């Protein structure tokens, strides 16, 4: 596989509703970075893969669901960097693989399905070790949570003219990306995370742990999960459609739609002082829209 990484661009978005409140808004298009290893996932993976190479590991093992952005990104990145990849997938093996898992398999990932209970316990089936010695396998936690993921995510803001923004707004799953953004943000910038899980209040501490020594401040907003992780409502899908028609930017329903929707609502509610300028992180994940019924979205 080739390395067709593009540089991400910042796209200003103009809407009357923002102008009315004297707010500037722009989107960092990480979704355009790579056709498969989309958005924040490459940033999260690269430090882990460098570590795995250093330790002369042969395979990378990680966990995820049937539509996981992390699973398909790991499979593609491993193919690119010469690792075997192993995916431990939540739930019994289906008769028909999801498009995400078919892609992962095409990149050479060995898929192992385990029950939801076993998954919760992060159980690794013994047959995984058949073709490998135990020490040859490098394990990456679910969703790439960890210090190396945060370290890699700091690069999202590097080499960008991002200094002028007063606020950086991004989706929060494990919080790994957000920790990197907080670490990399300038003193005058406020980082706001939109949690896409329901009542996942412990993520605050999980992020703090990754930021470690520094005392940098950030804020997590918990009101825009739309029912929980990977849940959606007609209102959210309508927002995605309207957002696409207004800006030309496709977004995903699991992370970026909830984040951008939250940003709009927060603008409406005067959360930001007039004169603020917001940088929204488009963290990718568009492949996950394939779990929606055909025709649900205009793109
Ligand atoms: C994985 C993912 C996130 C969440 O990243 P965390 O580091 O787990 O918080 C956000 N957006 C998209 C599109 C993702 O795929």
**5, part of any domain:** no
Atom of ligand 1 nearest to the CA of 281: 11
Distance 80 CA to ligand 1 centre (A): 21
Same domain for 77 and 189, yes or no, is no
Same domain for 46 and 131, yes or no, is yes
Please provide the average confidence, as pLDDT, over all residues in the chain: 95
**201, part of any domain:** yes
Q: Tell me the pTM.
A: 0.96
Same domain for 25 and 103, yes or no, is no
Q: DSSP strand E in 54-166: where?
A: 59-64, 84-90, 109-114, 137-139
pLDDT over 90 (residue 38): no
pLDDT for res 4: 67
**3, part of any domain:** no
Q: Tell me how far apart the alpha carbons of residues 8 and 163 are, in angstroms, rounded to a whole number.
A: 16
pLDDT for res 36: 86
**227, part of any domain:** yes
**232, part of any domain:** yes
Q: Which of 144, 159, 194 is the last residue of a domain?
A: 144
**211, part of any domain:** yes
Q: Which of 126, 144, 162 is the last residue of a domain?
A: 144
**250, part of any domain:** yes
Instruction: Tell me which residue range forms the domain holding 47.
Output: 41-144
Could you report how far apart the first and last alpha carbons of the chain are, in Å? 26
pLDDT, tens digit (0-9, with 9 covering 90-100), for 226-269: 999 999 999 999 999 999 999 999 999 999 999 999 999 999 99
pLDDT for res 6: 82
Q: Is 143 in the pocket of ligand 1 (CB under 6 A)?
A: yes
pLDDT, tens digit (0-9, with 9 covering 90-100), for 269-288: 999 999 999 999 999 999 99
pLDDT for res 166: 98
> Helix, strand, or coil here: 220?
strand
Burial class (CB in 10 A: 0-12, 13-18, 19+), 19: exposed
Tokens of 235: 């209102």
pLDDT for res 212: 84
pLDDT for res 225: 98
Same domain for 52 and 30, yes or no, is no
Distance 20 CA to ligand 1 centre (A): 31
Q: Tell me how far apart the alpha carbons of residues 163 and 157 are, in angstroms, rounded to a whole number.
A: 9
pLDDT for res 217: 87
Same domain for 75 and 116, yes or no, is yes
**4, part of any domain:** no
Q: Which of 113, 144, 175 is the last residue of a domain?
A: 144
pLDDT over 90 (residue 51): yes
Distance 21 CA to ligand 1 centre (A): 29
User: Ligand 1, residues 44, 153, 156, 171: which to mutate, most atoms within 8 A of Cβ?
Assistant: 171
Same domain for 284 and 178, yes or no, is yes
Nearest CA-CA partner of 71 in 49, 96, 102, 50: 102
pLDDT for res 245: 97
Q: Structural domain tally of the chain?
A: 2
Same domain for 172 and 274, yes or no, is yes
CATH of the domain at 50: 3.40.50.1100
Same domain for 69 and 181, yes or no, is no
Same domain for 152 and 272, yes or no, is yes
Distance 256 CA to ligand 1 centre (A): 9
pLDDT over 90 (residue 159): no
For the chain, what percent of residues have pLDDT higher than 70?
A: 98
Q: Whose CA is nearest to atom 10 of ligand 1?
A: 171
For the chain, what percent of residues have pLDDT higher than 90?
A: 92
pLDDT, tens digit (0-9, with 9 covering 90-100), for 102-129: 999 999 999 999 999 999 999 999 999 9
Same domain for 140 and 152, yes or no, is no
Q: Tell me how far apart the alpha carbons of residues 41 and 30 are, in angstroms, rounded to a whole number.
A: 10
Average pLDDT over residues 77-82: 96
Same domain for 73 and 156, yes or no, is no
Q: Whose CA is nearest to atom 5 of ligand 1?
A: 173
Using pLDDT thresholds of 50, 70 and 90, give the confidence band for residue 90: very high
Same domain for 266 and 155, yes or no, is yes
pLDDT, tens digit (0-9, with 9 covering 90-100), for 135-158: 999 999 999 999 999 999 999 998
Distance 112 CA to ligand 1 centre (A): 23
pLDDT, tens digit (0-9, with 9 covering 90-100), for 94-109: 999 999 999 999 999 9
């Amino acid at each position: 596989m080739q390395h067709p990484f593009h540089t991400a661009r910042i796209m200003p978005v103009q809407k009357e509703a923002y102008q009315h409140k004297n707010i500037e808004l722009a989107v960092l298009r990480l979704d355009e970075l790579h056709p498969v290893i989309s958005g924040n996932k490459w940033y999260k993976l690269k430090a882990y893969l460098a570590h795995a190479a250093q330790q002369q590991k042969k395979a990378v093992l990680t966990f995820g669901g049937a539509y996981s952005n992390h699973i398909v990104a790991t499979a593609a990145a491993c193919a690119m960097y010469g690792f075997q990849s192993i995916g431990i997938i939540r739930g019994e093996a289906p008769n028909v693989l999801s498009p995400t898992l078919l892609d992962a398999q095409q990149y050479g990932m060995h898929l192992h399905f385990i029950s939801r209970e076993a998954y919760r316990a992060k159980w690794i089936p013994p047959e995984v070790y058949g073709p490998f010695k135990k020490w040859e396998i490098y394990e990456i936690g679910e969703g790439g949570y960890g210090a190396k993921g945060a370290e890699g995510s700091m690069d999202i803001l590097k080499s960008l003219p991002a200094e002028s923004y007063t606020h950086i707004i991004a989706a929060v799953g494990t919080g790994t990306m957000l920790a990197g953004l907080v670490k990399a943000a300038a003193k005058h910038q406020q980082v706001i995370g939109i949690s896409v899980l329901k009542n996942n209040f412990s993520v605050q501490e999980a992020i703090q742990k990754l930021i470690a020594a520094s005392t940098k401040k950030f804020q997590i907003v918990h009101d825009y999960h739309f029912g929980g992780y990977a849940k959606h409502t007609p209102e959210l899908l309508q927002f995605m459609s309207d957002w696409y028609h207004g800006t030309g930017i496709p977004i995903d329903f699991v992370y970026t739609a909830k984040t951008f929707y939250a940003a709009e609502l927060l603008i409406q509610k005067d959360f930001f002082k007039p004169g603020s300028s917001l940088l929204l992180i488009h963290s990718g994940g568009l492949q996950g829209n394939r779990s929606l019924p055909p025709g649900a979205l205009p793109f």
